[in-house]
Amino acid sequence: MRFNSYEFLVFFAALLALLPFFRGRKRHGLLLAASYVFYGAWNVPFIGLLLFTTALDFYCGARLARAATPATKRAWLIGSLFGNLGPLFYFKYGNFFLENVAFVSGLDPEPFYLNVVIPLGISFYTFESLSYTLDMYRNKYEPCTSFLDFALFVTFFPHLVAGPILRTPEFLPQLKRTAPVTQPEVLRGVELFLLGLFKKVVVADNLAVLADRVFESPGAYSGAAVVAGTWAFWAQIYCDFSGYSTMAQGLASMLGFWLPRNFDYPQLRHNPLQYRRTWHITLGNWITDYVYRPLGGSRVGDARFAFNLVFTWMLLGLWHGAAWNFVLWGLYNGVILAVYSVVMRRKRWSLPAFPGKLFCGWLLIVASNLLSSIFFRAQSAADAGTLLGRIFSWAPGDEVGLEWWGVLALLLGVHALSFWYYKEDLFQRLGWPGRIALTTATVLAIACLGAGGRPFIYFQF
């Protein structure tokens, strides 16, 4: 069930109609049941896997909190790690592992292929649930004593299949609330949901036409056309994923919950660190807390510091997909961040201020991330090499219409304008006439320009 579907509209309307009749724990039970219905609409049997992950970490977390010795704590943590990462490896990386073993050994991999379907959102809810046992191992918080509350934390449908990735302190305290949902929360939720839906169906799904055309025929288009197609994909994936996150925030707000912001205008940042800290914020925080810092983070020498960044980013690439082009995407970004970070912490100079300094930095980030997007979107490492070769040789080939360049420039201008003027309290600042006008315009744009039917890109991760 997708947020941009009529089935979801009926589902959410029915949930809103039922909620006033439920209070306290019964309300939590209704939301949990609704979350399982939401997930089961895609594949009912995989509800069992979701329940297994929830029960495993609830039990392991309680045992970790009561463990008397470090050895006992490590044993329960290892059990949680195997129980969480084992299914993730089997479903998502099993065939990738077998293909590479077969390549090295010279065997035919086809007889060994696993005939499996990757459970929707497994990377997201696994990381979210696993964070609880990792925190219990570190004695950071008190254990959750209610299985219902913990299950709702893992399964809450607005963020279940594509984030934001929550931690227990961000969600569980909200379950103590007894006050009804307020009108400002509903209005904020409506605004955020419409904004996210607009980014998804009007911007992302229409740009996908150009991006798909170029990336499906990597050797057919000119270097300029490949730049246009890659730029379209860069905008598409941002609007697609940030659109989902914004819709999740809006749905949660209408239900009386708060979800963290997952994007903060990364496309307008002027250095690599700013860009990465404002893109998929919750995943970045998860990796930083549970991988990067345990490796030593930045509290080590330059060589180890650079290794920690590159290794972390290669894991991030593998998290996104079981293919070598994703690993190369992570390696590319890790090297850029490592070089930039080492230089910045060792530099004894700085560029003098001059007009357009930040703009020049932004242009470098754009160029860097257009190349990065090729590794991310290409269907294979070979296709990525072909596309990069056509850009650097400025090869002739099929072109894209000038109207596409105009659309991309217009989108960039609107995005920059929204960076300066858009705030989360926009509805309140506009007042009722402006609020009605903006809502009406957004709904009309979605109805007239929306290109429905495409799943969210991050569903595959």
Enter the tokens of residue 30.
């209704």
Enter the tokens of residue 39.
């997930």
Is the separation of the CB atoms in 289 and 196 below 8 Å?
no
Query: What is the model's pLDDT at position 245?
Result: 94
Domain residue limits, the chain: 6-180, 185-460
Residue 156 pLDDT grade (very low, low, confident, very high; cuts 50, 70, 90): very high
220: DSSP letter: T
Is 426's pLDDT higher than 70? no
Q: How large is the average pLDDT for residues 380-386?
A: 88
Please choose, from the candidates 192, 149, 189, the residue with its C-alpha nearest in 3D space to the C-alpha of residue 169.
149
Is 419's pLDDT higher than 80? no
Residue 105 pLDDT grade (very low, low, confident, very high; cuts 50, 70, 90): confident
- For the question of residue 320 being annotated catalytic, the response is yes
Rounded Cα gap, residues 362 and 419, in angstroms: 14
Enter the tokens of residue 397.
């080939």
**Least confident range of 41-50, 389-398, 450-459:** 450-459
Query: What is the model's pLDDT at position 103?
Result: 76
Q: How large is the average pLDDT for residues 243-255?
A: 95
Percent of the chain with pLDDT over 90: 53
The SS3 assignment for 280 reads: coil
Residue 455 pLDDT grade (very low, low, confident, very high; cuts 50, 70, 90): confident
Q: Residue 392's beta-bridge partner residues?
A: none
Rounded Cα gap, residues 397 and 348, in angstroms: 46
Given the residues 28, 159, 280, 320, select the one marked as catalytic: 320
Please choose, from the candidates 127, 196, 197, the residue with its C-alpha nearest in 3D space to the C-alpha of residue 168.
127
The SS3 assignment for 435 reads: helix
Residue 425 pLDDT grade (very low, low, confident, very high; cuts 50, 70, 90): low
Rounded Cα gap, residues 263 and 284, in angstroms: 11
CA distances from 9 to 16, 240, 378, 453 (A): 11, 19, 33, 14
